[in-house]
Structure 1
Amino acid sequence: MVSFGGLARKLLGSANDRMVKRYDQRIRAIAAYEEEFAALTDEELRGKTDEFRAQLADGKTVDDLLAPAFAVVREGAKRALGMRHFDVQMIGGMVLNSGAIAEMKTGEGKTLVATLAVYLNALEGKGVHVVTVNDYLASRDADWMGRLYRFLGLTVDTIVHGMSDDQRRAAYACDVTYATNNELGFDYLRDNMKYERGQMVQRGHHYAIVDEVDSILIDEARTPLIISGPLDDRSDLYKTIDKFIPQLGPEDYDVDEKQRQVSFTEDGTEKLERLLEAAGHLHGDSLYDIENVAIVHHVNNALKAHQLFQRDKDYIVRNDEIVIIDEFTGRMMPGRRYSEGLHQALEAKEGVTVQPENQTLASITFQNYFRMYKKLAGMTGTAQTEAAEFGDIYGLDVIEVPTNQQIQRLDEDDEVYRTFEEKFRAIALEIKDAALRGQPILVGTTSIEKSEMLAERLRKEGLKDFQVLNARYHEQEAYIVSQAGVPGAVTIATNMAGRGTDIQLGGNAEMRIARELGDMPEGPERTALETQITADIKRLKEEAMAAGGLYVLATERHESRRIDNQLRGRSGRQGDPGRSKFYLSLQDDLMRIFGSERMDSMLTKLGLKEDEAIVHPWINKALEKAQKKVEARNFDIRKNLLKYDDVMNDQRRVIFEQRIELMDAPELDETVADMRHATIDAMVARHIPERAYPEQWSTQELKAEAIDLLNLDLPIPEWAEEEGIAEDDIRERIREAADKAAAEKAERFGRDVAIYIQRNVVLQTIDTLWREHLVNLDHLRSVVGFRGYAQRDPLNEYKSEAFELFESMLANLRERTTQQLMRVELVRPPQETQPPRVPEMAGHHADPTTGEDEMGGGAQMITAGVAPAANGMPRDAENPEGWGHVGRNEPCPCGSGKKFKHCHGAFV
């Protein structure tokens, strides 16, 4: 029986189909220009860019120019890249231009699609940002598509880690700028720590296209971007506390695998208190006394490190370091660190060197960063499952763009076994069978441990010719992935999300030529070999297609349907044949945690024998429901985090806008005078209560505070004895004395120096207080949840108390600025009144719930040249022993120009 909704879809098409159909008329309009533009010379075609810009200046909008501009890009791509945009790619470009997300399957040419909307919006001259997931893709795409942009008369540049401020400023000034989400957010935070407009590198947030938008705006958005400075070394404390955890038993703590949380039981707390007391680390009688807040934080992290984090799944130990494994891609992430002291707890657990912690100086979530853009768009192969979140958080619609050719992939129902062992036996047989048939097979696993377990089983079964692609071997990943479509190839991969390389049936000709011919000089011999490799690839592709195309075999379901869909999408590229299938067991994490506990006994009663599988569409539907539950829970967590960050974001905007106003103002006399008068008003109000008699005034205290804050010794007690004197008179006399002293000081310094001192004192005071305020908000955030026990809404409590803290910070700003300006004396004139430089600091991308940090101690705010050693001194290129800790992604201090991880920091 067909539902009414199903019948309507059959007759009228889905909402997405109807939306896509609306673009037909514009596609015809673009096609109408093709013959005309094909007849133009290169110079005439390039001249269209100036023509479009003139039309925009005359009042036309980018939407008015869409058809001719897209036609120019199509013709330009044919000449500069040897590629022509398909009609479906034109649809993708229109979706991006409308400020929505274009969902396009793997291999449909998203990189080329972006050029349409990028060119059109870059004509306004306000800068277009193309956001990628890593430096490699940013550089590759900018170089590749840059040929087209430059051919059409646009400027293009890339921002990667290690660039100086001058290089960044030049890159942002281009029409098109390619960069990672981290670099963009980091530059925004750094800009708001500068002391002059001229030092800032970004020029606004006009239009951005986010590649792999689900990865950046969903997965990465769990983690705020943070700039931090070092705290005191507490490595000994981590090591001491770590020794206590193995002394606890399972009855001393509760583990919640669903929420990934662990907590001490009452018995566990008592046992821990005895251990801490014996070691001299407990202050007072209880672990939860206010004096023990830091100790509670340390013991909780130590317990998490031991009970929630597994070696070779969540991290590996390598070169005296804890290296995190990305749960989405399975890659190693050298340089990333867990925050909030969790990484130090893991270092203590594994017995490696414990690195020092950092204190937050500035932070922003990616949600709040990307919502600053006037127009935002994105593209990915998998966004529909997260459409609700994109709409709710970012106001972005998801539109599925049809494929250029019909998808031929066969998606089979899942096979469910009772145990891991049975499942892996079946998988090994299936892989051997596919390899014998000559069908290329990509096997997806969810962890390093499982990929290596499967590899070992295949060796025992006699299959030796296969590739393992996981975090341990990520250096060769691009080549391994590119050749995974060769007939009979077996590739075992730990999560395939966001790897940036297509799997082509028969293999990738360009990569084979680069690998096999290397630096062979151009000439007849090289040309002959290239022709031979191309012919070989063509033959192998036909063999792979005859064997059924790429077979994607997944060994487990991920918590997110999107990650499963990304793996499936590797097969069936551009109309190629393909096949996908998931092998599951009741012992898999998703089945065990979210599936029915009675399923095992039910299957046994139904007579399911060993090595038999159950295959039914109902199983797929039940699993999809479990995945939807997990996705909804993760969405709620992100949404809740964002609600709290929105409170800080409002305050951050006020502070950052205030800083820009102060930098732009030609002089600050009025601002500084207002601060001084507000400080005097508050000072007088504290010591002369409203409607109080003169004998109730605290004149001696007011005199002392005037000395402290205003550097003025005033006869306030004598004034108070004058007959008929009022509170306003006292206030006015103090104001006059302070204004006079400030004016004399300004005259003594000279006008330019006075303005320089005022601006820098105000900005530095704002920065200092804002950092203190961030620490206070962190502390408030960590304890406000307990208000729920008193039937009070933690979020409302956080909002009201955060506002009070902000008001208090502004009052402190007025007082501290006044105090410093009234006391400052000129020892020697500043050299040409240059503004202070922003100090070197570490950048982090850390998750407040899991603490994952992808930038770690190595992502330094390098403004120019080589980063300093740990002691702040410049590093000697000839002396590696004196370099101290160098971040994996920093430029190598030897001066080679390579990243440290590819030079002196390369793994042996």
Structure 2
Amino acid sequence: MALRDRLRRLVQKPGSADLTPFRALVDEAGKRESRVRELSDGELTAAASALRAEEGRDGDQDLAELCALGREAARRTLGERPYDVQLIGTLALLSGHVAEMATGEGKTLAGALAAAGYALRGRRVHVLSVNDYLARRDAEWMGPLYAMLGVSAGWVGQSSTPGQRRAAYAADVTYAPVSEVGFDLLRDRLVTDAADAVLPPPSVALIDEADSVLVDEAMVPLVLAGAADLDAADPRYADLVRRLRPGLHYAADDEARNVQLTPAGTREVERVLGLDLYAPENLRTLTAVNVALHAEVLLHRDVDYIVRDGAVKLISESRGRVALLQRWPDGLQAAVEAKEALEASPSGEILDSITVQELIGRYPVRCGMTGTAMAVSGQLTEFYGLQIAVVPPNRPCVRDDRPDRLYATAADKEVAIVEEIAAAHAAGRPVLVGTGDVAESERLARSLARAGLDRVVLNAKNDAEEAAIIAEAGASGAITVSTQMAGRGTDIRLGGSPPAAPGTAPADTPGSDHDRVAEAGGLLVIGTGRYHSSRLDDQLRGRAGRQGDPGASVFFTSLQDDLVARYAPDEKTKAASDDDGLITDKGAHWIVGHAQRVAEGVDLELHRNTWRYNHLIGLQRRELLTERDAVLTGDAADRAMAESAPAKHAELAKAAGADAVAAAARQIVLYQLDRCWAEHLAYLADLREGIHLRSLGRGLDPLVEFNREAVPAGKRLLPDARERSVAAFEALTATEDGIDLDSAGLRRPSATWTYLVHDNPFGSLDERALRGLIAMFKRR
């Protein structure tokens, strides 16, 4: 290796992709810019169309020409000439990497140019975002650019009809929330007519906020449920556990991840209910009481959820926003609704589910963009085979990232935060404060009000006002108190100038307001504590210092923070504090960093563990879907019934005709395949919950024990479905008017709905099972 290459790799961040080839292509695109500017709009579109290649011949594309044409098309249609670094980001995406680009560097435009490049290679592109708003905004904003490049684009949202979805997916580029694509896939897997499917075969997934989707939400199950007669939570249990006293009737662990009844609590519950709680016949009552106790003690309003419009809305831990369509497993969801005295939401049988990671894994080509990827480069490589391309900013970042300020108590920390905000406000600096949850944001807002400071609060309760609040967060003297909502996907301009409207030039020209705020030091970002992930810290920091603007960031932490209490409860320090509670000892500061590293390690292990379980389920699902597709699109069902029940097949064909028999056989086999899969999912869910206590009690590996029972159950799936299909086929009756399918008992759910499951609110199953064992031994 040449000395120059050795030095370059030494300076380059470990695990990142080499940008040298991309820079050479961008330089070549720059040389062609004057020629491309001479083209008319029609000639530019024709030149882009000439780049179209047959699918699979990606290497034949002239990438320098694509960059030159894309830059000129963006300049004409959007009023934005992409920077060289944006084109480097585009090329990184076209190479199948995750492009790490700082705030304000134009990821949306870089992604659109990459999507157009893939489309011109003959590939269908899904640009996956985190919500409906971004999907529609970006599709409409970039629409003129795509049109000039001869590429069609569409978008899918929660309210899109099947026809609108089918049309959007037929476009070259489709913008959609990752959840909606997953839900469409689940619905397609249950269609009984191939013409009803909406999703085309997967090709390219270009993921916005890639680290959030691919890591934070990777193992979130997307669920398709069907109406079933399941009992709602009995409000008696919510009333009962509300009257229990902490310490006397129940005990929670130090990390607030588990709670159990004490002997006194058990006696009190038995007295009120008039039964032996631990008798085998009262297992359902015991479960209901425990779930109600978890809902009452461990899930907190304005921290884990809010109540809006008469419903419980979960809050995304990594975003601070309402987690749209997300809910806890049915029992826990119903218990929280009973706790809040709300009407129970629909519950039902899970017909199918898929994790976000498995959904993304279906795409042969994956790439993405985010501002914080290197911190999880190992996971992106381990789970997706992705490399990171660290794209430098267009202008050097001059933000002043100050050392953390550590305090002995949370009260000392809050006093210091208010003083810091007051000082910055007096100097005319805008301040953005990032808090851990809704409750903390409102508590700090009250403290600021008592100090006579005007402030605006942004959290999950008023997320509809986000755009308006963020637009003014950079105004002189503005104070914005926010949850993690303001830490990702937002762009704060100094001076409070509103964002440019789609299709117009960005409002980046410095004016008097911008200059006044810049002279005061720019935006000051304050974190009221370290988050459980360093990436969330970096996202919050990144709100300041946009495009070379001045700015600063500082985190205030305390030894009483939830992060320390949960992940480093045994770490102690004898370091003294100043009169105001400030601690400067390096060992004490190490405790906070250690707690965050432990939290990140726990999240990674949970990801790995959940993936191991879901990998087997995915293999079993794939085998069943292969059979289902053969039945749906061919005559496999008709042939199977003719072989297994020849006499009945001949009888029905004589009475109703061969076509009617083939259609009936198809419906019967599809129904039995879907029925067996739903039952198998329920069995696996129960197995996974129960296997942990059993295996840990015997000192066995839970995963091995799970596979020992799940693998044989999976092998019985198809034979059971075939056997049931034959039995149902034998029960059919027919006349000249057709075949009576009702006689086969094909009762599909009267209604279906989709949602996401937050299935680890209290930690991993292993952790909870182990704590349960310890509590059991203590009671003995």
* TM-score, L = length of structure 2: 0.90
Distance verdict in 2 for CA 1:266–1:393, change over 3 Å:
farther
1:347 maps to which residue?
A: 337
Does 80-89 or 152-161 show the bigger shift?
Answer: 80-89
1:802 maps to which residue?
A: 710
1:628 corresponds to 2:591: no
- Residue 773 of structure 1 and its aligned partner are, at CA, apart by 1.4
2:771 maps to which residue?
A: none
Distance 1:311 1:510 in 2: 33
1:702 maps to which residue?
A: none
1:757 maps to which residue?
A: 664
CA contact (8 A) 1:508 1:537 kept: no
Letter in 1 for 2:433: V
Distance verdict in 2 for CA 1:655–1:839, change over 3 Å:
farther
CA contact (8 A) 2:249 2:264 kept: yes
- Residue 230 of structure 1 and its aligned partner are, at CA, apart by 3.1
- Residue 269 of structure 1 and its aligned partner are, at CA, apart by 4.6
User: Pick from 83, 93, 107: which aligns with 1:110?
Assistant: 107
Letter in 1 for 2:593: E
Distance verdict in 2 for CA 1:193–1:598, change over 3 Å:
closer
CA contact (8 A) 1:238 1:344 kept: no
Letter in 2 for 1:650: L
2:305 maps to which residue?
A: 315
1:400 maps to which residue?
A: 390
CA contact (8 A) 2:15 2:377 kept: no
Secondary structure of 1:496 counterpart: helix
1:653 corresponds to 2:622: yes
Distance verdict in 2 for CA 1:184–1:11, change over 3 Å:
closer
1:40 maps to which residue?
A: 39
Does 170-179 or 22-31 show the bigger shift?
Answer: 22-31
1:385 corresponds to 2:358: no
1:481 maps to which residue?
A: 470
- Residue 9 of structure 1 and its aligned partner are, at CA, apart by 8.1
Deviation digits for residues 434-493 of structure 1 (CA, Å, limit 9, x no counterpart): 111111111111122222222222222222x22111222222111111111111111111
Distance 1:46 1:8 in 2: 42
1:466 corresponds to 2:455: yes
- Residue 116 of structure 1 and its aligned partner are, at CA, apart by 2.4
1:704 maps to which residue?
A: none
User: Pick from 148, 152, 161: which aligns with 2:149?
Assistant: 152
- Residue 63 of structure 1 and its aligned partner are, at CA, apart by 5.8
Does 35-44 or 555-564 show the bigger shift?
Answer: 35-44
CA contact (8 A) 1:667 1:755 kept: no
2:699 maps to which residue?
A: 791
User: Pick from 40, 48, 54: which aligns with 1:56?
Assistant: 54
2:639 maps to which residue?
A: 670
User: Pick from 212, 224, 231: which aligns with 1:234?
Assistant: 231
- Residue 376 of structure 1 and its aligned partner are, at CA, apart by 0.4
CA contact (8 A) 2:459 2:485 kept: no
Matches within 5 A, 1:455-854: 455-463=445-453, 465-496=454-485, 500-510=489-499, 538-595=511-568, 599=572, 602-603=574-575, 606=576, 608-615=577-584, 622-666=591-635, 668-674=637-643, 676=644, 738-785=645-692, 786-826=694-734, 829=737, 840-850=751-761
Distance 1:346 1:534 in 2: 46
Secondary structure of 2:217 counterpart: helix
Distance 1:637 1:18 in 2: 28
Distance verdict in 2 for CA 1:160–1:404, change over 3 Å:
same
Letter in 1 for 2:94: N
Distance 1:297 1:235 in 2: 13
Distance 2:487 2:295 in 1: 28
1:217 corresponds to 2:214: yes
CA contact (8 A) 1:194 1:838 kept: no
Distance verdict in 2 for CA 1:93–1:565, change over 3 Å:
same
Distance 2:126 2:254 in 1: 39
Distance 1:41 1:536 in 2: 28
User: Pick from 181, 194, 199: which aligns with 1:197?
Assistant: 194
Matches within 5 A, 1:300-449: 300-333=290-323, 336-449=326-439
Distance 2:320 2:362 in 1: 31
CA contact (8 A) 2:487 2:536 kept: no
Does 388-397 or 433-442 show the bigger shift?
Answer: 388-397
1:31 corresponds to 2:30: yes
Distance 1:9 1:272 in 2: 68
Distance verdict in 2 for CA 1:641–1:535, change over 3 Å:
closer
Letter in 2 for 1:56: E
CA contact (8 A) 1:507 1:537 kept: no
1:171 corresponds to 2:162: no
Distance verdict in 2 for CA 1:36–1:790, change over 3 Å:
same
Question: Which structure has the bigger radius of gyration?
Answer: 1
Count of matched residue positions in the alignment of Structure 1 and Structure 2: 752
Unaligned runs of 5+ in 2: 1-5, 764-780
CA contact (8 A) 2:475 2:495 kept: yes
Distance 2:341 2:283 in 1: 25
Distance 1:474 1:318 in 2: 12
User: Pick from 287, 296, 312: which aligns with 2:278?
Assistant: 287
Distance 2:105 2:750 in 1: 45
Secondary structure of 1:587 counterpart: coil
Distance 2:419 2:487 in 1: 29
Distance 2:698 2:413 in 1: 49
1:19 corresponds to 2:18: yes
- Residue 406 of structure 1 and its aligned partner are, at CA, apart by 0.4
Unaligned runs of 5+ in 1: 1-6, 515-529, 677-737, 853-908
Distance 2:681 2:668 in 1: 20
Distance 2:376 2:51 in 1: 37
Distance 2:605 2:314 in 1: 25
- Residue 120 of structure 1 and its aligned partner are, at CA, apart by 1.4
CA contact (8 A) 1:137 1:500 kept: no
CA contact (8 A) 1:419 1:585 kept: yes
User: Pick from 72, 77, 81: which aligns with 1:80?
Assistant: 77
Secondary structure of 1:775 counterpart: helix
Distance 1:407 1:321 in 2: 43
Letter in 1 for 2:567: F
Distance 1:13 1:537 in 2: 33
CA contact (8 A) 2:471 2:498 kept: no
- Residue 312 of structure 1 and its aligned partner are, at CA, apart by 2.3
1:682 maps to which residue?
A: none
- Residue 8 of structure 1 and its aligned partner are, at CA, apart by 7.0
Secondary structure of 1:354 counterpart: coil
CA contact (8 A) 2:237 2:292 kept: no
Letter in 2 for 1:483: E
Distance 1:352 1:490 in 2: 35
CA contact (8 A) 2:233 2:334 kept: no
1:720 maps to which residue?
A: none
CA contact (8 A) 2:488 2:539 kept: no
Letter in 2 for 1:759: R
Distance 1:48 1:192 in 2: 40
CA contact (8 A) 2:104 2:546 kept: yes
Letter in 1 for 2:756: H
CA contact (8 A) 2:204 2:363 kept: yes
CA RMSD of aligned residues (A): 3.0
- Residue 74 of structure 1 and its aligned partner are, at CA, apart by 1.3
CA contact (8 A) 1:435 1:441 kept: yes
Deviation digits for residues 23-70 of structure 1 (CA, Å, limit 9, x no counterpart): 3222223223322222222111111233222x537x842464322222
Distance 2:20 2:590 in 1: 30
Matches within 5 A, 1:246-265: 246-247=243-244, 249-258=246-255, 260-265=257-262
Distance verdict in 2 for CA 1:90–1:63, change over 3 Å:
farther
